[in-house]
């Protein structure tokens, strides 16, 4: 009997740009999709008005949302800043809160920022070849810490975990990552609300 999962494997993900050789189109997030996600909303609005470039794209291969399945694909965050803040994904909790995820860095230089509802924060840098484990209960976002390179990660999570973007949109993450000279630093989010 044919397995109900219809995506043919193996699928090639290009290691220099993250593009997947698959039938599904990547999902795109531009400055216009990230209202109020950055500390400097005026800077974000200006970027939207000027070019509305892509901030990140990701491949969701449409694996059935069942607890027996694994969703996977690539996440591609382009280099850049909004104000002083590095390009990042919107970030989310999983709807089934206690479900984990793995990110494997293929190219670029970045970070996974994590926090749980109790306010515990973890952040892990990623270089190519390194994996980061996001435990259950932790909201997570990818941040591109390079000024020139695209951050490409490969992710895997339980397929029915779901995405809860709402609570992040309302409160943001507790910590932000901003440029500090040629590097970066983590600061408290002045806009974060309990
Ligand atoms: Mn996730």
pTM assigned to the model: 0.95
Residue 93 Cα to ligand 1 midpoint, Å, equals: 7
Residue 50 Cα to ligand 1 midpoint, Å, equals: 30
Residue 188 Cα to ligand 1 midpoint, Å, equals: 22
pLDDT in tens, 127-176: 999 999 999 999 999 999 999 999 999 999 999 999 998 888 888 999 99
Residue 183 Cα to ligand 1 midpoint, Å, equals: 26
Q: Cβ neighbours of residue 178 under 8 Å, at least 6 residues apart?
A: 39, 84, 85, 86, 184, 185, 187
Residue 85 Cα to ligand 1 midpoint, Å, equals: 21
What residue spans define the domains of the chain?
27-188
CATH match for 27-188 among 3.90.550.10, 2.60.40.10, 2.60.120.10, 2.60.40.3880: 2.60.120.10
pLDDT in tens, 78-124: 999 999 999 999 999 999 999 999 999 999 999 999 999 999 999 99
Nearest residue to 145 via CA among 115, 177, 120: 177
């Amino acid at each position: 009997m044919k397995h109900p999962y219809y995506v043919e494997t193996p699928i090639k993900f290009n290691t220099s740009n993250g593009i997947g050789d698959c039938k599904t189109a990547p999902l795109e997030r531009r400055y216009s999709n990230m209202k109020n996600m950055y500390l400097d909303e005026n800077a974000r609005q200006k970027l939207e008005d000027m070019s509305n470039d892509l901030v990140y794209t990701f491949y969701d291969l449409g694996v059935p949302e069942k607890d027996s399945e694994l969703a996977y694909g690539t996440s591609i965050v382009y280099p850049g800043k909004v104000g002083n803040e590095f390009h990042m994904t919107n970030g989310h909790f999983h709807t089934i809160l206690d479900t984990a995820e793995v990110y494997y860095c293929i190219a670029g230089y970045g970070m996974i920022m994590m926090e749980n509802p109790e306010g515990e924060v973890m952040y892990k840098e990623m270089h190519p070849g390194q994996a980061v484990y996001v435990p259950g209960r932790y909201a997570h976002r990818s941040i591109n810490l390079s000024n020139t390179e695209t951050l490409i990660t490969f992710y895997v999570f339980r397929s029915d975990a779901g995405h809860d973007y709402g609570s992040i949109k309302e409160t943001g993450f507790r910590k932000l990552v901003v440029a500090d000279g040629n590097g970066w630093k983590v600061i408290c989010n002045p806009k974060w609300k309990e």
